[in-house]
Structure 1
Amino acid sequence: MTAPLSVLTRLPGWAALLLCALAGALIPFSFAPFNLWPLGMAGLLAFVLLLHGRSGRSAWARAWAFGVGLYGVGVSWIYISIHTYGNASAPLAATMMGLFILFVAFVFSLPFYVYGRWFSRHRLGPLLAFPSLYLLGEWLRGWLLTGFPWLYLGYGHIDTWLAGWAPVLGVLGVSTVVLLTVGALGHGLLTASPRHWKPWLPLLVAAALWPTGLALQHAEWTEPVGKPISVGMVQPNIPQELKWDPSFVQPTLERLDTLSEGLWENDWLIWPEAAIPKVYHQMLPYLNKLNDRAEETNTGLITGIIFDDAQKRAYYNSIVGLGPALGIYHKRRLVPFGEYVPLEAQLRGLIDFFDLPTSIINQGPWDQRGLQVGSVGISALICYEVVYPDLVAHSARENQVLLTISNDAWFADSIGPLQHMQMARMRALETRRPMIRATNNGVSAFVDHHGHIEKRAEQFVQTNLEGVIQPRRGNTPFMVWGSWPVVVFCGLLLILLCLWRRRSV
């Protein structure tokens, strides 16, 4: 080990924790809107080196500091929804955001106790155990306590050579290649010397995965089916503070009608999440009028609305089809506090943030097929659902187009909506399906089956957008197998390393 590395791995505790937090804070700069992926890899490399030789508790503490930096920068936009739209005071909003960051950082840190306890002193720890445990942590955060699958490393590489791995292994597979590369680099730095060059061989193997990803970008995996479809979408830009104001219902409907007027000649017309600001059965006369217009022009109108089920006494965040568009979809992955309140009996009424107008939503059934317009099946996704890779991959199997509607006005002009858009692009790339993304205030866009934005609307303006999409059929490897191959691979790496340790004891 070189002298500079020796100093890095022997820093005083407080200095190491600070450096870990700074390393974690670099990771979000690899995502939108910055897209500085080398910074993310530099932060990871520093993390690997700072974990070297640490005990279980020390590695866990450093990982927690790294997680605080990662989430403190990466999800800072949560403050806006709590303070601005949840009416919490600035100190209270900052406290709540801080507690959330500390909690998700704690969840992030758990696998690294294992790393410090059993692998940090092993010469293959950085090479095999670090990538495996980091990846298994990403997977864990995708489902634990309903999941928070945000800031996966793979998203920072949607525009690099590694994007070719997404249809094969999904975003977690892209993360794995990043981690194997950084782990191999860390392994080389920690174990190589002028007399021992072999520790650099794993880096050559990992580096070969990058041009392989470039080659995989040319594999289509799916094929066009049917004729191209013309689509218009509306971005009404309704201020969040007026969204559910009864006095603003009529102006909202008039704005939707006005922005839609020149779009009825398209095959499809899309309105965003909860575009109609009253529940379904209260708006039946208006919906019937829209249905008649859609039938008259042969335009499939698809809109977000809150659906009220009187029999079940339940409300759903839904998408409904009118005219040639058939079906209704109820959202399955709900946003904590925004759509439901955990520990409701204890938290309701404490502050306005726990009583948001839409925090009464029920979870939709899992066995929903989506929407249909003619022979084209639409995989329908509402807002937060698009960040779940396996959910989207499964939903896309029987459908030819991805549609996500959203309202990111909760996060104003922060980096949150741009991260959200990047994740939607990844879903199009993983499934090799075109995606339509219609939002209240941006980013509204058409995304092709390679994950590239073809057209997008400017954020924070009342506008509409028109484009053409080409439905596609066929399954990518990721749609067939999901994230399991990557999870099993990383689990096997850990098992093999454990067996190796036992034999060498």
Structure 2
Amino acid sequence: MTKRWHSLQNDRPFRPITLLPVTIAFSSGILMGFAPAPLNFFPLAWVALAPLWVLLFTPSKAKAQGEKNESKRPFFLFSFSFGISFVWGVGYHGLALSWITGLHPLTWLGVPWLASVAIVLFCWGFITVWGAVLVALWAWLMHRLESVGVKGKGEDDAALLSVHASTPWHHLEPLLRSLRRVLLGTALWCGLEWLWSLGPLDWTALAYTQSPGNLAVLHFGQISGATGVTAAIVAVNGLLAEAWMNGQQLAVSRQRSAVSSQQLKTQNSKLKTIALLVSATILFIAVHLLGAVLWLQPIAPSNTTALKVGIIQGNVPTRIKLGSDGIRRAMEGYTNGYLALAAQGVDAVLTPEGALPFLWNEPNKLRSPLYQAVLEKGAVLWLGTFTAQKGGIARSLLTITPNGATTSRYDKIKLVPLGEYIPFQAALGGIINLLSPITENGQPGAFHQQFDTPFGRAIASICYDSAFPEVFRTQAAAGGQFILTASNLDPYSEVLMAQHQAQDIMRAIETDRWAVRATNTGYSSIVDPHGHIEWRSQPRTYQTHAATIFRRETQTLYVRWGDWLTPSLLVLGAITVLFQRRSLRS
């Protein structure tokens, strides 16, 4: 088996990527795709990256020469590391994001059936490739950075020991090399996830594979946000992979002559394998124990901070909501729901994104029976609707008080490309209009918004915002006491419903806040600061629900300092690369 494994490595990258490495990479990516909701096989995330790591970093003489040639190539797309990692990313992101196929059929927009299939497949392929490029770029950067010195003087531990034989710690050098690689790999992955979070498409950060199943490790996110969870996953996978690779080298060395020097190298290699396995175990246990300690902290609710809120899940499908029947159904459903909840004595009622599918202006407001109900019953209304803004229309969440005044507005920050706005409108608008039925050009809200209510400042979010932790952190740092999420997840399946809820669970834990979630078709829910789902609606049904939440003013380390871990890891990674380069030159 060992000989066969090493034979896989020998001809890279002089031959095309062979079938077995591709199969291993794709299969392990699929395993990672099983980890997120709704399957919730979250333990797989702690091992599913390791096979890719082994494929990338198992040493061989041919590979060392190939990587030297790779570094001279003008375009990295032809490298083994980029290609095999891209395949892993396609497996992971393609499966995790397969809910996008729920867009089909688009015939209700006047799109022919075959054209609808083509549009949906394009969308699925594009977001899959977008995620896979992150993984591929990570692998390529790893090889580029290691080529400055970490692998430049030898491809296995024996060669490395000969280089560092004059140093007092030379027997530790193979172990230190593996630890440096794990540190560098973790830093680069976290850095790239941070970079991706600045863009328009971000959903499948590794941390979300642990939600909602692994609440203990999710509380580790209170220290440095989702990055802390991602870093732990990458590091544990890397340590396990390094232990596996060292074990393979150990098996090969045992087949050689049993001279004393070779026996010493074998013994050192065995100790290295044990040290790497112990390191992976300690790290895995440590992050879970620390998270569990935070998880077990009492919430300690107080009557003075209690807030009774109502949720309306209107269940008006997107395919009909813009027509006259849909508008009538929405108006009746949300008005009746508001009246029922007000009769239960709620302080406020939350509706989903775009609950009333028309522009909320003065004439429409005065004609709305829901607005009249607010004036009559006196419960605050948080209304998801549309407002006119300079250059287009914003998807907004409004606070409407008992006197009919709109006292605060939150505009959706993260809009879905092509679904809610046309990217690069000036250059691509004409072309996209020919290919896509989307005519809306939504306007994103400012990043630093504050959503004040009669009960204190809230942390507001609309649908896709939930995938971006910084949207929540900045509002929590500015005094937000509870989370309000208004979403429309139709026409997608329960897969997206479960994943969106998983995102909000992470945000509730990271900020230590209660979360109230209203969606059009499900899942609406109440989530406590420890990520427990106090109540969850049934999908694709009309429902109302009243619950008591509690306002909180605590600030986690993440809320105060933000994602401090990523820059720290990047600085440490840069130091190790520079130190190794200097060491090899001396």
Number of corresponding residues: 496
SS of corresponding position for 2:220: helix
Give the conservation status (yes or no) of the 8 Å contact 2:314–2:543: yes
The answer for the alignment partner of 1:183 in structure 2 is 238
Q: Output one character per residue of 1:103-146: Cα deviation in whole Å (capped at 9) or x when no partner.
A: 43224321211112233845445422222222222212111xx2
Which residue of the partner structure matches residue 355 of structure 1? 437
Q: 2:319 aligns with which of 215, 227, 241?
A: 241
Q: Give yes or no for the alignment of 1:474 onto 2:560.
A: no
- Equivalents in 1 of 2:340, 2:228: separation in Å? 43
What is the match of residue 32 of structure 2? 27
Pair 1:367–1:209, CA change in 2 (3 A): closer
Residue 154 in structure 1 maps to residue 193 in structure 2: no
Tell me the equivalent position of 1:109.
136
Q: What is the rounded CA distance, in whole Å, between the counterparts of 2:180 and 2:246 in structure 1?
A: 11
Q: 1:100 to 1:450 in 2, by over 3 A?
A: closer
1:336 to 387, 393, 417: 417
Q: Which amino acid is 2:49 matched to? A: L
Q: What is the rounded CA distance, in whole Å, between the counterparts of 2:490 and 2:442 in structure 1?
A: 18
The counterpart of 2:572, out of the listed 474, 482, 493, is 493
Q: Which moved more, 1:32-41 or 1:89-98?
A: 89-98
Indicate whether 1:127 and 2:208 are aligned.
no
User: Residues 157, 366 of structure 1: CA spacing in aligned structure 2 closer, same or farther, 3 A cutoff?
Assistant: closer
Identity of aligned residues (%): 24
Structure 1 unpaired stretches of 5+:
none
Please give the alpha-carbon distance, in whole angstroms, between the structure 1 residues aligned to 2:300 and 2:221.
Answer: 14
Distance in 1 (alpha carbons) for counterparts of 2:85 and 2:300: 40
Identify the residue that residue 192 of structure 2 maps to in structure 1. 137
Return closer, same or farther for 1:389/1:268 CA change in 2, 3 Å cut-off. same
Which residue in 1 is equivalent to 2:458?
378
**Cα separation, partners in 2 of 1:151 and 1:165, compared to 1, 3 Å:** same
User: Which moved further from structure 2: 402-411 or 175-184?
Assistant: 175-184
Alpha-carbon distance in 1 for matches of 2:119, 2:336: 40
Find the residue that maps to 2:240 and give its secondary structure: helix
Cα distance, 1:284 vs structure 2: 1.6
Task: Tell me how far apart the structure 2 counterparts of residues 224 and 335 of structure 1 sit (CA, whole Å).
Answer: 39
TM-score (norm 2): 0.78
Cα–Cα, structure 1 residues 394 and 223, in superposed 2: closer, same or farther, change >3 Å?
farther
1:254 corresponds to which of 326, 332, 335: 332
Task: Tell me, yes or no, if the aligned pair for 1:225 and 1:471 is still in contact at 8 Å.
Answer: no
Letter of the 2:353 counterpart? E
Q: What does residue range 84-483 of structure 1 map to in structure 2 within 5 Å?
A: 84=106, 87=111, 88-119=115-146, 121=151, 123-124=178-179, 126-143=181-198, 146-158=199-211, 159-160=213-214, 161-192=216-247, 193=250, 195=267, 196-198=270-272, 199-200=275-276, 201-207=278-284, 208-219=286-297, 226-264=304-342, 265-281=345-361, 282-287=363-368, 290-309=370-389, 312=390, 314-324=392-402, 326-345=407-426, 346-348=428-430, 354-356=436-438, 359-374=440-455, 376-397=456-477, 398-411=479-492, 413-483=493-563
The root-mean-square deviation of aligned C-alpha atoms, in Å, is: 2.7
Mean CA deviation greater in 396-405 or 490-499: 490-499
Other structure's SS at 1:340 match: coil
Q: Deviation at 1:385?
A: 0.7
Q: Which residue of 2 aligns with 1:76?
A: 98
Q: For residues 451-482 of structure 1, what are the alpha-carbon distances to aligned partners after superposition, in whole Å with 9 as ceiling and x for unaligned?
A: 11100110111111221101111211111111
Q: Deviations over 1:231-251 (max 9, x none)?
A: 111111111111211343223
CA contact (8 A) 1:381 1:403 kept: yes
* Alpha-carbon offset, residue 80 of structure 1: 2.5
Q: Per-residue deviation at 1:417?
A: 2.2
CA drift of 1:157 comes to: 2.2
The residue identity in structure 1 corresponding to 2:97 is: V
Identify if the C-alpha distance between structure 1 residues 197 and 59 changes in structure 2 by more than 3 Å, giving closer, same or farther.
same
Give the gaps of 5 or more residues in structure 2. Answer: 71-78, 152-176, 251-265
> Is the CA contact 1:371–1:377 (under 8 Å) kept in the aligned structure 2?
yes
Larger Rg, first or second structure (1 or 2): 2
Deviation of residue 35 (structure 1)?
A: 0.9
Amino acid at match of 2:29: G
1:275-303 CA deviation, whole Å, 9 max, x = no partner? 0111011522135x544533443311111
Distance 1:453 1:4, change over 3 A: farther
Deviates more, 1:394-403 or 1:254-263: 254-263
Deviations along 1:56-94, one digit per CA (max 9) or x if unpaired, are 621111111111111211112223226436634324432
Please give the alpha-carbon distance, in whole angstroms, between the structure 2 residues aligned to 1:221 and 1:167. Answer: 14
Q: Cα–Cα, structure 1 residues 240 and 367, in superposed 2: closer, same or farther, change >3 Å?
A: same
**Contact kept in structure 2, 1:27 and 1:44, CA below 8 Å:** yes
Amino acid aligned to 1:203: A
Q: Deviations over 1:359-411 (max 9, x none)?
A: 3211223342113123x211111111111111211112211110010000032
Q: Distance between the aligned counterparts of 1:253 and 1:477, measured in 2?
A: 43
CA drift of 1:26 comes to 1.5
Distance 1:368 1:102, change over 3 A: closer
Does residue 48 of the first structure (1) align with residue 14 of the second (2)? no
8 Å CA contact 2:352–2:520 kept in 1: the answer is: yes
CA distance in 2, matches of 1:367, 1:140: 19
